[in-house]
């Protein structure tokens, strides 16, 4: 009576890992040709024929991954994180992954959560708390962070080039003759706002421009909070002639405050946002903003998560996606 060959038999005969054997059949374009040849030759010799059920049983893998949006009050329709989700979904659909999309608030924070859902890897978007990361790691779930970095965790992180985006925005304002430039910093992910704040200060300093305590204001990252903060900022006798806003929603609040104070854009005040969201085309004049390729961020997240699940040792811990300033009529 002949025995049925398993993926482990193919692995031993071909001299590669079981993860590579699985990938050679499920995603052959992602495996070197010489390696594929070894796997296929071994499989032919052993009369091995893979299928989804056998692969899951042999590898003890379900190929289920999750994307959690970690932002207070967020939904899966949040524009920025929906862009990342688009990239995640497109890449997952080209593989064997089954994808669960949720918000952190809707994800029951119990020790058995990932185990009961049979989730093998999670992409955490935004302000994920260390406690959540620890819980997932305790469950042996692979974790990738997007739009965030957390001190004390050795995790792959996919982020935008915040510093370059800020520099492009501020140097545009300086090039247009502005010297009194303020920053309106919405309370978003601490990592993101910290990167943008530091880059703003560094760029201003490099150009010999001072930034006083009153030139940077924190506000809630919504139109009402930004309108209130911008009104205070723009009511000063020495008001700024330009405002760099931490995101486009904050910029919308700045527009609102400027209108109420009788200021004309961009003649009396120039405004630059960040994220290049749909808000930009809704404002008049249209908002200059820093574009982030969120779809690419999502694609890279799945690539990094796949590498972790396949046991690769050299998975990049930091992946930075370029940003681009989109110039419109608000400056």
| 280-296 pLDDT, tens digit each | 999 999 999 999 999 99
Is 2 a member of any domain?
no
Number of compact structural domains in the chain: 3
Is 327 a member of any domain?
no
| 58-96 pLDDT, tens digit each | 445 567 899 999 987 777 778 999 999 999 999 998 887
Judge if 282 and 186 occupy the same domain. Answer: yes
CA distance 276 to 327: 10
Over residues 265-292, mean pLDDT: 97
Judge if 247 and 182 occupy the same domain. Answer: yes
Whether the pLDDT of residue 148 is over 80: the answer is yes
Over residues 92-108, mean pLDDT: 83
Is 1 a member of any domain?
no
Q: Is-above-0.85 flag for pTM?
A: no
What single-letter DSSP state applies at residue 213?
Answer: G
Is 145 a member of any domain?
yes
Check residue 193 and give its pLDDT.
Answer: 93
Question: Is the CB of residue 146 less than 8 Å from the CB of residue 125?
Answer: yes
Q: Phi and psi (nearest 5°) for 187?
A: -80, 85
Is 248 a member of any domain?
yes
CA distance 278 to 289: 11
Q: Find the distance separating the first CA and the last CA of the chain, reported in whole Å.
A: 79
Judge if 55 and 87 occupy the same domain. Answer: no
Residue 24's domain comprises 7-59
Is 330 a member of any domain?
no
């Amino acid at each position: 009576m002949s025995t049925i060959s398993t993926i482990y038999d193919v692995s031993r005969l071909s001299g590669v890992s079981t993860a590579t054997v699985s990938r050679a059949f499920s995603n052959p374009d992602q495996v070197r040709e010489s390696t594929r040849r070894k796997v296929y030759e071994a499989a032919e010799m052993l009369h091995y024929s893979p299928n989804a059920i056998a692969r899951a049983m042999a590898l003890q893998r379900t190929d289920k991954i999750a994307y959690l949006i970690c932002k207070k009050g967020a939904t899966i329709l949040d524009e920025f994180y929906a862009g990342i989700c688009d990239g995640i979904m497109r890449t997952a659909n080209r593989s064997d992954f089954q994808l669960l999309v949720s918000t952190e608030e809707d994800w029951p924070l119990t020790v058995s959560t990932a185990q009961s859902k049979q989730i093998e890897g999670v992409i955490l978007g935004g302000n994920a708390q260390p406690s959540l990361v620890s819980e997932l790691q305790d469950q042996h779930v692979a974790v990738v962070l997007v739009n965030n970095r957390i001190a004390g965790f050795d995790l792959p992180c996919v982020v935008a080039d915040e510093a370059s985006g800020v520099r492009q925005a501020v140097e545009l304002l300086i090039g247009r003759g502005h010297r009194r430039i303020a920053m309106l910093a919405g309370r978003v992910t601490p990592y993101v706002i910290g990167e943008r704040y530091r880059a703003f200060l560094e760029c201003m300093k490099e150009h010999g421009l001072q930034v006083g305590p009153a030139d940077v204001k924190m506000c809630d990252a919504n139109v009402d909070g930004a309108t209130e903060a911008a009104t205070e900022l723009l009511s000063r006798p020495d008001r700024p002639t330009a405002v760099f806003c931490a995101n486009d929603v904050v910029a919308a609040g700045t527009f609102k405050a400027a209108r109420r104070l009788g200021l004309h854009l961009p003649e009396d005040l120039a405004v630059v946002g960040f994220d290049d969201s749909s808000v930009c085309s809704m404002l008049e004049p249209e908002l200059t903003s820093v574009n982030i390729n969120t779809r690419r961020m999502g694609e890279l997240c799945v690539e990094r998560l796949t590498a972790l699940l396949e046991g690769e040792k050299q998975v990049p811990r930091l992946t930075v996606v370029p940003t681009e300033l989109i110039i419109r009529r608000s400056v």
